[in-house]
Amino acid sequence: MISPLLVLAILGADFVQQEFDGVIPYEPAPYGTPEKGKGFRLGDFNGDGASDVITKDTLLFQIDGGFPRRGQRPLPNFGGRAAGDVWGLDLYFLLADRLEVVRWSNDTWQRVLSQEMVWPRAGLITQLSSSPEENSISFATFLFDLDGQGAPEIILPGEDGVHVYRRKGPFFEPAGTLLAAVPPLTLANADNVALWPKERRVLAPPTQTRTFSFTIQERQIRLAYASPAPGGMVQHRICQYPVLTGEAGFSLGQEPALDVTSKPVPPGVNAMFLNNDDAIDLCQTQVTSMLTSTVPVPVLNVSLSTDGGETFTSIRSVTLTTTPRFADMNGDGFLDFIGERTALFDGGLRETLLRAMSRRRLEHEVRVHLQSATKGFSNTPVFAHLFSVDLDKAPLHQSPLFMRYTRGSLLDTQGDFDANGFLDAAIQDRPDRISVYRGSQTGFDDAPYATITLPAIESFCVADLNADGRDDILADAPVPGAPDRPSRTSIYLMKGGAQ
Ligand SMILES: [Ca+2]
Ligand SMILES: [Ca+2]
Ligand SMILES: [Ca+2]
Ligand SMILES: [Ca+2]
Q: What is the CA(450)–ligand 3 centre distance, in A? A: 12
Length of the chain (residues) = 499
Ligand 3 (ion): residues with CB under 5 Å are: 416, 418, 420, 422, 424
Q: What tens digit of pLDDT does each residue of 221-253 get?
A: 888 888 888 999 999 998 899 999 988 899 988
Report the distance separating Cα 470 and Cα 462, nearest Å. Answer: 10
Report pLDDT for 259: 92
DSSP classification of residue 442: T
pLDDT band, residue 2 (cuts 50/70/90): very low
Q: Which range is most confident: 15-29, 99-113, 121-135, 141-155?
A: 99-113
The number of the ligand nearest the C-alpha atom of 274 reads 2
Ligand 1 (ion): residues with CB under 5 Å are: 44, 46, 48, 50, 52
Q: What is the CA(467)–ligand 1 centre distance, in A? A: 11
Confidence (pTM):
0.86
| Mean pLDDT for all residues in the chain | 85
The number of the ligand nearest the C-alpha atom of 327 reads 2
Q: What is the CA(259)–ligand 1 centre distance, in A? A: 42
Indicate whether 211 pLDDT > 70.
no
Indicate whether 6 pLDDT > 70.
no
Q: What tens digit of pLDDT does each residue of 301-317 get?
A: 999 999 999 999 999 99
Indicate whether 196 pLDDT > 70.
no
Q: Write out the DSSP string of 429-440.
A: EETTEEEEE-EE
Quote the distance between the C-alpha of residue 448 and its chain's center.
24
Indicate whether 375 pLDDT > 90.
no
Report pLDDT for 247: 87
Sheet containing strand 58-60, strands side by side: 41-43, 52-54, 58-60, 72-74
C-alpha to C-alpha distances, 259 to 225, 226, 231, 454, nearest whole angstrom: 12, 13, 23, 51
Q: What tens digit of pLDDT does each residue of 338-365 get?
A: 999 998 888 878 888 888 888 999 999 9
At 482, give phi and psi (nearest 5°).
-135, 70
The number of the ligand nearest the C-alpha atom of 89 reads 1
Q: Write out the DSSP string of 35-83.
A: -S-BS-EEE-SSSSSS-EEE-SSEEE--BTTB--GGGEEEPP--SSEEE
Report pLDDT for 28: 63
Report the distance separating Cα 19 and Cα 361, nearest Å. Answer: 32
The number of the ligand nearest the C-alpha atom of 494 reads 4
pLDDT mean over 64-68: 90
The number of the ligand nearest the C-alpha atom of 464 reads 4
Residue 109: Cβ within 10 Å count: 17
The number of the ligand nearest the C-alpha atom of 491 reads 4
Q: What is the CA(295)–ligand 3 centre distance, in A? A: 38
Indicate whether 141 pLDDT > 90.
no
Q: What is the CA(331)–ligand 3 centre distance, in A? A: 10
Q: How many CA atoms, within 13 angstroms, populate the side-chain half-sphere of residue 467? A: 13
Indicate whether 124 pLDDT > 90.
no
Q: What is the CA(35)–ligand 3 centre distance, in A? A: 18
Residues 6+ apart with CB under 8 A from 453: 432, 433
Q: What angle do CA 275, 374, 198 make, to 5 degrees?
A: 15
Report pLDDT for 212: 62
The number of the ligand nearest the C-alpha atom of 423 reads 3
Q: What is the CA(429)–ligand 3 centre distance, in A? A: 19
Report pLDDT for 432: 96
pLDDT mean over 185-193: 42
Give the pairing type, strands 450-453 and 433-437.
antiparallel
Indicate whether 335 pLDDT > 60.
yes
As a whole-number percent, the residues of the chain with pLDDT over 90 amount to: 56
Cβ(325)–Cβ(31) below 8 Å? yes
Report pLDDT for 460: 94
Q: Which of 137-146, 161-170, 287-296, 315-324 has the lowest mean pLDDT?
A: 287-296
Q: Which of 9-13, 466-470, 475-479, 486-490 has the lowest mean pLDDT?
A: 9-13
At 353, give phi and psi (nearest 5°).
-65, -45
Query: 265 in helix, strand or coil?
Result: strand
Report pLDDT for 123: 79
pLDDT mean over 11-29: 77
Q: What is the CA(116)–ligand 3 centre distance, in A? A: 47
Indicate whether 189 pLDDT > 50.
no
Report pLDDT for 33: 52
Nearest to 61 by CA among 78, 80, 74: 74
Q: What is the CA(105)–ligand 1 centre distance, in A? A: 12
Nearest to 298 by CA among 323, 325, 322, 268: 322
Of residues 418 and 209, more confidence is placed in 418
